[in-house]
Structure 1
């Protein structure tokens, strides 16, 4: 191999740093995941803050955040921290509940995608069906799809009864029947930035001394894409 691009934080950051002395190594991940290789920075903390700020601005106060185990993913953990920070900033920390399903719940949920199954499993809980929460934040778009499908089976409507916001802005979230409000990381821009940085690293005419000592960082700001899954709180 002549170069490596990580789409997630390297599992062995020290080894990735060692390899970067021999060839270009670029990671697309949160800035606090790895420090001494070229980095296309994601800001999942900011993304979480944006999602919570949107729902609070619509009058929602009781919000459930639905996620898989955050301890196993820095991106998930940072999103949750961003949501929590924003709720605290608005004086609503006690109105936020982070819901993580147990293995047994996921095992019996329908579907092939793990994110979708997480959403389906959690949305069956009585406390989420009771109407206590008027809005949900899903840790990614597939989890949101599971939540929407599960609650729709109980005749709930989005945004008639609930609002929901998610992360990633995958292709189908913009379809008219789904119309999911989500935070966009501009994946195309991130990929282009990684390739541009790689070309810069491998340019024969580049300053070899500069490239050997410098570490480059590129940051793309997440942006909220508002669609029909969120609306002012009606309760």
Structure 2
């Protein structure tokens, strides 16, 4: 191997550890504890390959001061625009520029952005979703302030504006139970391991029906996991609701209520039912989650759950600015030691798309 081209990835491969572990050990930045054996193995692999952190660190470091990078999984759901609106409003007020990175839910793209952003050394980073590389994000947070808008307890050791998606799912279920619904469905976009919010909403929904003694009458349907990367298409979430609802009513014609994992899915459910001449809510109730702007428009009138999306964006940026200011004032220890966690209590927005179940 040409020693001039040796990278930390090569060292990681030789030592049998992750690239971020190599970086932390050779930089002497132990955000987590490593065994003596692991440290020695990494150092030995670096020596054998001729890899030198000192040589790597000689390059002058770019600094994009006054810049915040925001990572977003897609630009097809208005939910993310609401978050961005809150982030940008606060950033502009404090004279910071915002750069948007759309990962397209692709692991490789996300990792590439993270590594490039780390080299650019901006003032801060905001994740609008749960990162796929939490260990790498924790490493970066030791050098650049990072804030996460994501599922509660999804990543430890990072400042967060938390989503309580399990509570959101429970709110939807409790509303249907109070109305008297017993045979219901929950339709979702793909339930991949990294989509913790989707899985949490379903968990809360099903748990409420289970506690009421009706778990067996809850039907959960989702797209295959491999379709998650297709969600760059503008109408994919809407199509998910439409297609799943279309097949659902053929399979289970006596269903009385259908919930979508978000408002976009719920709108697809609504249109599929209307196209098949079901009345909403007289025949089937429909409800979603996120309280998007057009969910409350006349003619749609969707019952949903509000969890204050723009405000979460504002809070995320405010926390980030506090962390940035702390480092500017050379108060690194206090700013890094304090972990911020903010959570809003979601609430039901009752509209005209839900009612009592039809008599079967």
RMSD (Å) for aligned C-alpha atoms: 2.1
Going from structure 1 to structure 2, the CA distance change for 1:21 and 1:64 (only over 3 Å counts) comes to same
Give the aligned partner of residue 227 of structure 1: 351
Map of 1:14 onto structure 2: 135
Aligned to 2:340: 216
2:320 maps to which residue? Answer: 198
Normalised by the length of structure 2, the TM-score is 0.61
* 1:50-129 → structure 2 map (5 Å cutoff): 50-72=171-193, 73-101=195-223, 112-125=234-247, 127-128=249-250
Distance between the aligned counterparts of 2:151 and 2:219, measured in 1? 24
Asked whether the equivalents of residues 221 and 244 of structure 2 are also in contact (C-alpha less than 8 Å), the reply is yes
Which deviates more from structure 2 when the two are superposed, residues 63-72 or residues 160-169?
63-72
Query: Which whole-Å CA distance do the structure 2 matches of 1:8 and 1:101 have between them?
Result: 20
Distance in 2 (CA, whole Å) between partners of 1:191 and 1:100 is 28
Residue 263 (structure 2) aligned to one of 105, 117, 141: 141
The answer as to 2:275 corresponding to 1:153 is yes
Task: Map Cα deviations across residues 179-204 of structure 1 (whole Å, 9 max, x no partner).
Answer: 00111120111011111101211224
Distance 1:181 1:206, change over 3 A: farther
Give the conservation status (yes or no) of the 8 Å contact 1:101–1:121: no
Larger radius of gyration: 2
Greater shift, 126-135 or 220-229, is seen at 126-135
SS in 2 for 1:125: helix
CA distance in 1 between partners of 2:278 and 2:139 (Å) = 53
* Distance apart, 1:126 and its partner CA: 5.8
Of Structure 1 and Structure 2, the greater helix share is in 2
1:165–1:126 distance in 2 versus 1, CA, 3 Å: closer
Unpaired segments of 5 or more residues in structure 1?
A: 106-110
Shift of 1:165: 1.2
Q: What is the distance in 2 between the residues matched to 1:101 and 1:25?
A: 32
Q: Indicate if the aligned counterparts of 1:62 and 1:133 stay in contact, CA closer than 8 A.
A: yes
1:21-76 C-alpha deviation (Å, 9 max, x unpaired): 11110000012210111111100000000011111111100001111221341110
Aligned partners of 1:138 and 1:233: how far apart in 2? Answer: 17
Between stretches 200-209 and 138-147, larger displacement belongs to: 200-209
**Do the aligned partners of 1:129 and 1:151 also contact (CA within 8 Å) in 2?**
no
Instruction: Give structure 1 regions of 4+ aligned residues with deviation exceeding 3 angstroms.
Output: 126-131, 204-208
Verify: 1:173 aligned to 2:292, yes or no. Answer: no
